[in-house]
Amino acid sequence: MHGAWWAEEADANRQTPDDSGRARAGPELDGPDAVTAGWTIDTATCCRSHGGRFTVVHPGGPVTWPRPAAVGDRELDLRAGLSDSFPPAGVLEVPEATVTGARGWISVGDGLVLRDHTWYGDAIEEECSGPDPAERTVDLPGTTLSLLSDFAEVSYGHLVFDVLPRWSLLEPAGVALDRVDHVLCCAPPERRDYVLELGVPRDRIVWTDPSVAYRTDRLLAPSFPGRRRMLPSWAADALRSSLGVPPAGSGRRVFLLRDHDRRVVNDAEVRDVLRSHGLEAYDPVRSDEDQRAVFAAAELVVGTAGSALSTIVFCAPGAAVLELLPDDHPFPYHYTAAVAAGLRYRYLVGASEHVRADHRSGPSRHDFTVDVSALDPALAALTVPQG
């Protein structure tokens, strides 16, 4: 069994990065985020009351969201609900924590859930009723690292945005991987290769069972990247550096095919317009090309809001993205990802066949219509050579 890294790294507790990218001594986590409410707590409270220690790698701070550029005569307020700051990001170590396999929620003490390590963040008690009950508990001796997050076991987009960037926090935080005994992982089955490409030791991976709670002797938990639907620039940089691949060509203009949920009603008409501007159809599910290589080679990507569009983080800085955004799906995932990755983002609002009064129930399933009279001039503008 591997030893405990924190025994040798205790002096690195509560750190922020210096100019070298390594961690240095920093301030205590405290203030308005350090509030206990109901059945959840935050990282600061965990550190004070449950023996946790947090090593900061990215100190967080204010963020300015530029107004997203809409094409056509309709706009959505994609900045509504976005925070004007990012929290610190780093690695939490905590003794005797339990991790649920279904969501990756971390609980300490009498079952208090660490809300800032979930996708829901501070909204968790409003939007969730509590942890999912486990059918059984598995004990993991020694040191366990968690690379889990809500929805990532079934959603490629959540895997890319919410899980994979966490790996980059470990080395700057002083985590010695040879002293980690188990790594809790989840991913859609067809994308488990991304987890292995990060460098996660295959012999220590525990692919989690949704019905199981994992009780740990000591847990290492890298931070959720940013906040939900808010990807920070460090996460985009980490994805490119750890999982980027050489581009498959150059100057490609790609539109993503989608055959489920949020389908384009006037698909044939839209495809005609796209082809007239030199865009090629690309199906990330059926193509033999690595989607990262395709996006890395693209000067323009057009696609419907959905997991496949998350691959824009592998586009080269300055590439253009046009998101076809149903009005029943007004979520800023790809807008904030484009900002983080340094891309030129535009969106075109489409009319959904049904618009829900409350979008907290999740992604839209309804098909929508694209205004081709707005699409054509938008593509003309986006395909003008830059410089």
Residue whose structure tokens are 């409003």: 126
DSSP letter string, 227-290: BTTB--HHHHHHHHHHH----SSSSEEEEE---SSS-BTTHHHHHHHHHHTTPEEE-TTT-SS-
Residues of the chain with pLDDT under 50: 1-36
What's residue 385's pLDDT? 74
CA separation for the pair 108, 106 (Å, rounded): 7
pLDDT of residue 260: 86
Three-state secondary structure along 317-335?
A: CCCEEEEEEECCCCCCHHH
Domains within the chain, CATH numbers bracketed: 5-58+86-229 (no CATH), 252-382 (3.40.50)
Distance CA 227, CA 332 (A): 12
Predicted local confidence at residue 273, as pLDDT: 96
Half-sphere exposure at residue 190, Cβ-oriented, CA atoms within 13 angstroms:
9
Helix axes 372-382, 267-276, angle to 10 degrees: 20
pTM for the whole thing? 0.89
CA 292 – CA 304 distance, rounded (Å): 17
Q: What is the DSSP track for 339-368?
A: HHHT-EEEEEEEEES---S-GGG-S----E
**pLDDT score, position 175:** 97
What's residue 358's pLDDT?
A: 82
Quick one: pLDDT at residue 132? 84
Predicted pLDDT of residue 387: 60
